Structure 1
Amino acid sequence: MRFPCPACGYLVFDEPPGSYDICGVCGWEDDPVQLRHPCMGGGANKPSLWECQQAVLPTLSTETASEPDVQRCSDWRPLEEKDCHDIDDTPRSGREYFESAGGDSPAYYWRRT
């Protein structure tokens, strides 16, 4: 089973969210804290998930989408402003960051109910 990259939506990861694997399509490192806090930069990735999508999605080629072994998750969508509701809960120190990284894999923002 393949898991989607939260930045580009392509099914590239062999493990559930938060694996710290690097996406071969867009270069995003699968950071569980940045998935929980998509507007937070400075985790495993310097830009936030929101910033990465703004920079990377327009540059992805149509060739990527047509490669048979690289498919986009059917229900994936880019972040929307409403998905960045966690500003007050964003880790502000290294300790808060590591505490936020523990526990279960975070839910994908596009599948939250």
Structure 2
Amino acid sequence: MEPQKIYPCRCCGYLTLIEEPPGTYLICPICFWEDNEDMNNWSVWTGSNQVSLRQAQKNFLEFGSCKLEWLKDVRSPTVDEVRNPNWEPIEVRAKREALLLIEKIRAAFLEVQLEDGITLHEARALDDYTDTENARIIDCHIHWLDIPDSWIEDFYEAFSFLDAKGFRHYIPAYMIWCLKNYEHTTSASFDSTLYVLERIFNTQDEYYRPNFNILNQVQLEVIQEFMTFMEIYSPG
């Protein structure tokens, strides 16, 4: 008789499941994670776990169970319950992929200049019906790589007033800022960035069509990678 095959728990990585995950709904005795079938977003909780897989892994590594309330119910692994050598916390994977994606964004947009496009301060002046010429002087000389994070956090409404050249110039800065801050930011700039990128890929949305048309293929591809990353790892 062949020995029973054992599968690794997705939360702690130890070989404790007698059925192949996901969706077995078996509870791991080492971390107390219930093996649900959610594979679409590791940062949003569903089902009985009431904690995302990403957070459950962080909890297990910090104090030994997927949630603090289950700490009294878990046990140490036996000698046979070794950890899968290929197991890697989502947190580690997300940070690695974010760094790689940041470099891709930089490379794809490095040569982009503002030219005569609308600036961030100019966009706000348009929104406030104030002097756009004086506003433009503030930041027309600043390359997107040098934009302060504080500006990005504050100028959440800019995409509604930027023209295509302004959009192309600032979108890499906003994407990089999102990749660095998506887990904890409360700035509306995060949601506005995702919103405008979703809209430019909507073929029926004529308002944002110029923003799509001004981007080259490499830039479009890296934006798609960014959107996929956020779909997988963003908690919202």
- TM-score of the aligned structures, taking structure 2 as reference length: 0.32
- Counterpart CA distance in 2 for 1:58 and 1:46 is 18
1:26: Cα distance to partner? 0.1
Look up the match of 1:39. 43
Residue 64 of structure 1 pairs with residue 76 of structure 2: yes
> For the residues of structure 2 that align with 1:45 and 1:87, how far apart are their CA atoms?
20
**CA distance in structure 1 between the partners assigned to 2:15 and 2:81 by the alignment:** 7
Q: What is the alpha-carbon root mean square deviation over aligned residues?
A: 2.8
Deviations 1:56-95 (CA, angstroms, capped at 9, x unpaired): 11223xx936x3122111211111224993637x9xxxxx
Partner-residue secondary structure (3-state), 1:52 = helix
The number of equivalent residue pairs is: 86
Please report how far the alpha carbon of residue 52 of structure 1 lies from its aligned counterpart in structure 2 after TM superposition.
0.5
Once the 2 structures are TM-superposed, how far is the Cα of residue 8 of structure 1 from its aligned partner?
A: 0.3
Task: Give the percent of matched residue pairs that are identical in Structure 1 and Structure 2.
Answer: 31
> Which has more radius of gyration?
2
Per-residue deviation, 1:22: 0.3
1:49 corresponds to which of 26, 47, 53: 53
Q: Please list every run of 5 or more consecutive structure 1 residues that lacks an aligned counterpart in the other structure.
A: 91-113
Higher relative contact order (CA 8 A, sep 6+): 1
SS in 2 for 1:76: coil
Give the counterpart letter for 2:79 in structure 1: P
Match of 1:6 in 2: 10
The 2-side partners of 1:11 and 1:59 are apart by: 19
TM-score (norm. length: structure 1):
0.64
Aligned mates of 1:36, 1:44 — CA distance in 2: 16
Measured in 2, the distance between the counterparts of 1:8 and 1:39 equals: 16
- Cα distance in 1 for partners of 2:53, 2:8 equals 14
SS of aligned partner of 1:64: coil
Give the aligned partner of residue 231 of structure 2.
87
- Counterpart of 1:23 in structure 2 is 28
Higher helix proportion: 2
